[in-house]
Amino acid sequence: MAKKKLFWTKRIARTLITAIGVSLVAFLILHLTPGDPARIILGPYATEAAYDRIRERYRLDEPIPVQYIYWISGVVRGDLGTSIRYNRPVAELIRDRIGPTMILMGSALIVSISLGVFLGILAAIKRNTPLDYFATFQAVFWLSIPPFWLGILFLYIFGLQLRWVPIGGMVGFTSLIFPALTIGLRDEAWFARPMRAEMLEVLNQDYIKAAKAKGLKYSHVVVKHALRNALIPMITMIALRLPWVIGGSVVVEVVFSWGGLGSLLVNSVLARDYPVVQAILLLLAILVVLANLGADLLYSVIDPRIRLEG
C-alpha cells in the first residue's frame, strides 16, 4: 500500500510540474512572436493614444513576467480573461466551443481504437495471409495521406459530387462522419501495427500453447487469454497518440468548418487574440497531461509490477 501511494504521489507531482511548464509555454508562445495586437484590433490609422488605451486595458504594456503572474493567478481563480476580438469572457467562448471538439475527438478515438485493434488482431491470427497484407497496406496508405488533404478529398467526393453529407458545419450526425474518419483512419494505422506485434508475441507464449493443448476453442483462447494481455500496451499507445488526435482536430475543424476549439484557435491566432489562444493552448495541453497521468495510473492498476518500478 505504501509503494502504491508513493507511485501515485510521484506521478501526480510530475503532472503538476508539467502543467506549470505547459502554462509558461502557452503564455510565451504568442507573446514572443512579432506583432502588436493593439494595431490589429484598431487598424493602422488609429492614434497612439488609442493604441495605448488598448494595451493598458489588456495589460500589454506590462513586462512579460508581470503579465504572466496576472494571467496565471486569474487562471487559478477560473478567470481566463476577456477576448480581444470578441469582447467576451474567454471562459464563455471555450464553454460554447468545447462540446463539439470533445464530440469530434471522442468519435475519432472510437474509430481509431476499434478499427486498429480489430485489424491488428485479424492480421496476427491470419499471419502471412492476404488479410495480413491488407492490414499492413491500409496502415501505410492512411499514414501517407496528410489529414487536411484527406478531409478535402472526402468533402469533394462525398459532399460536392455525391452529396451524401453536408459540405461544412454541424448539421446532424452525417456531418460528424467524415471529420471523425479523417482523424480516426490515420490514427487507426498507428494502433493496428503495434496490436499485431503484441498479439503475435502473446500467441507464442507457453500459457497460450497450454490452453490450446487442453482443447479450448481457438476463439476462446484469443479473446479470453491472448487479447487481455495484448491490450495492456495499447493503453500507453492511446495516451501517446492523444496529442496527435488533438492536433489533427484543429486542422480538421478548419477544413470541415466544425465549430469547435480548433477553428476558434486558428481565428484567434490570426487576430492575435492573446487571452483566447493562451487559454485554448493551456486547456489542450492539460488534457494531454491528464491523459498521460490517467494512462500511468491505469497501467499500474492493470499490472501492479509497474508500481514497483516507479
* Dist CA 285 CA 23 (whole Å): 8
Q: Which three cell numbers stand for residue 5?
A: 501511494
Residue 270's pLDDT band (cuts 50, 70, 90):
confident
How many percent of the chain have pLDDT more than 90?
A: 1
Q: Give the position of cell 481566463.
A: 80
The helix/strand/coil state of 4 is helix
* Residue 255 pLDDT greater than 70, yes or no: yes
List all residues 6 or more positions away from 167 whose beta carbon is below 8 Å from its beta carbon: 155, 159, 160
Tens of pLDDT, residues 30-54: 677 766 777 777 777 778 888 888 7
* Residue 95 pLDDT greater than 80, yes or no: yes
Tens of pLDDT, residues 133-191: 998 898 888 888 888 888 889 988 988 888 888 877 777 778 888 899 998 888 888 88
Q: Would you give the DSSP letter of residue 89?
A: B
* Dist CA 219 CA 161 (whole Å): 43
How many percent of the chain have pLDDT more than 70?
A: 92
* Residue 274 pLDDT greater than 50, yes or no: yes
Residue 3's pLDDT band (cuts 50, 70, 90):
low
What's the pLDDT score for residue 84? 80
What's the pLDDT score for residue 308? 47
Q: In this structure, how many other beta carbons lie within 10 angstroms of the beta carbon of residue 13? A: 10
* Residue 279 pLDDT greater than 80, yes or no: yes
* Residue 265 pLDDT greater than 60, yes or no: yes
What's the pLDDT score for residue 65? 86
Total-model pTM: 0.77
Specify the range with the lowest mean pLDDT, choosing from 116-120, 251-255, 269-273. Answer: 269-273
Q: Does domain 100-262 correspond to CATH entry 1.10.10.10?
A: no
Average pLDDT, the chain: 81
Report the candidate in 37, 63, 62 with the shortest Cα–Cα distance to residue 50.
Answer: 37
Report the candidate in 44, 256, 45, 269 with the shortest Cα–Cα distance to residue 165.
Answer: 256
Q: Delimit the domains of the chain by residue range.
A: 1-85+271-310, 100-262
Report the candidate in 163, 183, 165 with the shortest Cα–Cα distance to residue 174.
Answer: 165
